Chains A and B, each alone.
Chain A
Amino acid sequence: MYPILFLSFSGLITLFLGFFQEGKWVKPATILFLAIASISAFIDWNKPGAYFFNMLQVNNFNLLLSLVILITAILIVAISDNFKEIEYAHSAEYYAIMQFSLVGAIMMTNFQSLIMLFLGVEILSVSMYVLTGTDKRNLRGNEAAIKYFLLGAFATGILLFGIAMIYGGVGAFEIDAISGTLASNQAQSLFLYIGLVMLLIGLLFKLAAAPFHFWTPDVYEGAPTIFTLFMATIVKTAVVFALYRILHQSFQNMHLSWSYILAGCIALSLIIGNLSAVKQISFKRMLAFSSISHAGFLLLGLLHVSKTADKSLLFYSVSYLLASTSAFGVLLALKNERTENGRSNENISVFKGLATRSPFLSAVLIISMLSLAGIPLTGGFWSKFYVLTDAANDQFFYLIVLALLLTAVGVYYYFKPIITVFEKSDIQEAITINPIFKIIFVLTTLGTLVLGLFPDLLYGMI
């Protein structure tokens, strides 16, 4: 709860810091604010309770989620490098909007009333619309922003219609009231069914699960890389835990109705995500399709209401956050490379000869790709293992087989950047890396390896 209050104020302070000394204090101040917000989360540790007229619920697991989101945000801010890729950048505004969007993300993981869910989704989405369109003169950025905005607002409308229908069926917005009504009544009203389906559509759209994924590749490619990273990590984590609270903590008695919808979305996400990623030339577009397939895996962890679902989902999110941060970070470190038409080179070919030019960066890239593919000794392997173990029951056995088959397809396209790293290139000059980038890369890569070697460190702790 305290991170929400703190970040709302610190965002405003960040805006004013932009006026002093050409804004050189903005980035350190933002990292400081995020660190203070993470610490302030511990005020509520071991003191479960409700805030804001029972609209927000706090317990240790929710606090852990807020912490994961805030720490990821610190990593992203640290590698943001004052937005040099954007023309006429106003960095203070972007850092402030990032802090406001975190308020939305934390609200989405802690909500108790559906009103808070809606506000969280909107605070996060509206901030992301702005951040996607920050590069105002870039036509590709413009296109990404309008696509994201129009489709995102459309999905919000559907989400709201779902919430209104659920309100019609239950007469309250609290998720406790929903699960209470479902437990006491055998015959559910039609409103609840319509409401649940539309609420699911709205949230699956924000998660970028197929068949609601059309915007993902375009928006990921058109947005500035740092905000693509923000979208792929923080938005995805927040939405998946919002879905967890809705499906596992309020609609668990309607498991039969929603598990079939989820199963269809999982199958489509895995197939479309993995097969489309194979033929991509752009690295960002490839990661966009890979994020669709990871959305499928995250939903696989939600499929079965079990006691370990929250643990597996948190483990999956953390290992995905670490691997994505390394992968996008390497691309950011190479942003001085240009193509013929002067744009930043974001194709997979940008990694050509990286093994000789910078062995450190190539090691970071290779480990992150192995983790995303789910190769053993990385966090990605155990995250897939836990999610598949949770989903394994007779009813949806074919989904597990499908997931394993498509993981094999995934290995093919995740190895393309790795092979490119070892190809010979004409450019031989060594790449200089900013020391901050180095620290972040060491942290994320070590994190991925530690999760792969000792998964119980995180899985046993939760």
Chain B
Amino acid sequence: MLQENTALIPDMIKQIPLVNYVLLASILFVIGIVGVLIRRNALIIFMSIELMLNAVNLLLVAFSAYNSDPNGQVFVFFIMAVAAAEVAVGLAIIVMIYRNIRSIDIGLLNKLRG
């Protein structure tokens, strides 16, 4: 559990309580969610998703430092690598759509209705 062996945590880190990091990460995450829900430009939605992923990275690094456990920081590398792969595929899809309809406004995509 958290903060059981506080002796291992460097003093530098202990000066800021963990809850501050959790709050900051949560706020960034919520900004990302709101961005996905209200923006209509595919690129901006995409940026908001990246913001969500980076909020998670921050959270993992904070937990990792306060647990004195390196696993969380290793996971951050995995997330970065996967996010890069996702960006490659996502931008390709956006370019494909731009070539066809000369716009990346997701409001124009309404061919599929049931």
Residues 3-56 (chain A) with a chain B CB within 8 angstroms: none
Q: Is the CB of A173 within 8 A of B2?
A: no
User: Residue among A133, A145, A157, A169 with the most chain B CB within 10 A?
Assistant: A157
A167 to B58, CA, bound (A): 13
Residues 124-180 (chain A) with a chain B CB within 8 angstroms: 126, 129-130, 133, 136-137, 139-140, 142-147, 149-150, 153-154, 156-158, 160-161, 163-165, 167-173
Q: Is the CB of B109 within 8 A of A146?
A: yes
Residues from chain B with Cβ under 8 Å of A172 in the complex = 69, 71
Binds B, one of A215-223, A253-261, A310-318: A215-223
Chain B: which residue is nearest A168 at the CB level?
Answer: B63
Chain B: which residue is nearest A288 at the CB level?
Answer: B114
Chain A: which residue is nearest B69 at the CB level?
Answer: A171
Q: Is the CB of B2 within 8 A of A168?
A: yes
Q: What are 18 A-B contacts with C-beta separation under 8 Å?
A: A118-B82, A122-B86, A126-B85, A129-B89, A136-B100, A143-B110, A143-B111, A146-B97, A149-B90, A150-B106, A160-B52, A161-B59, A164-B25, A164-B72, A165-B59, A167-B64, A168-B2, A189-B2
A189 to B25, CA, bound (A): 18
Interface flag for B101 (CB, 8 Å):
yes
Q: Is the CB of A157 within 8 A of B114?
A: no
Given contacts A143-B111, A145-B96, A171-B1, contact A161 B85 (CB under 8 A): no
Chain A: which residue is nearest B109 at the CB level?
Answer: A143
Q: Is the CB of B36 within 8 A of A154?
A: yes
A147 to B96, CA, bound (A): 13
Interface flag for A119 (CB, 8 Å):
yes
Interface flag for B94 (CB, 8 Å):
yes
Q: A130-B92, A164-B56, A285-B114 are in contact. List 8 more A-B contacts (CB 8 A).
A: A118-B75, A126-B85, A137-B100, A142-B93, A146-B93, A153-B49, A158-B52, A164-B72
Interface flag for A280 (CB, 8 Å):
yes
Question: C-beta contact mask, A97-137 vs B, less than 8 Å → 1, else 0?
Answer: 00000000000000000010011001000100110010011
Q: Is the CB of A122 within 8 A of B85?
A: yes
Interface size class of B (residues with CB under 8 A): 35 or more
Q: Is the CB of B2 within 8 A of A153?
A: no
Given contacts A146-B42, A157-B49, contact A164 B1 (CB under 8 A): no
Residues from chain B with Cβ under 8 Å of A189 in the complex = 1-2
Q: Is the CB of B86 within 8 A of A153?
A: yes
Residues 41-94 (chain A) with a chain B CB within 8 angstroms: none
Chain B: which residue is nearest A194 at the CB level?
Answer: B26
Interface flag for A282 (CB, 8 Å):
yes
Interface flag for A389 (CB, 8 Å):
no
Other-chain residue from B33, B56, B67, B114 in contact with A160 (beta carbon distance below 8 A): B56
Q: Is the CB of B82 within 8 A of A157?
A: no
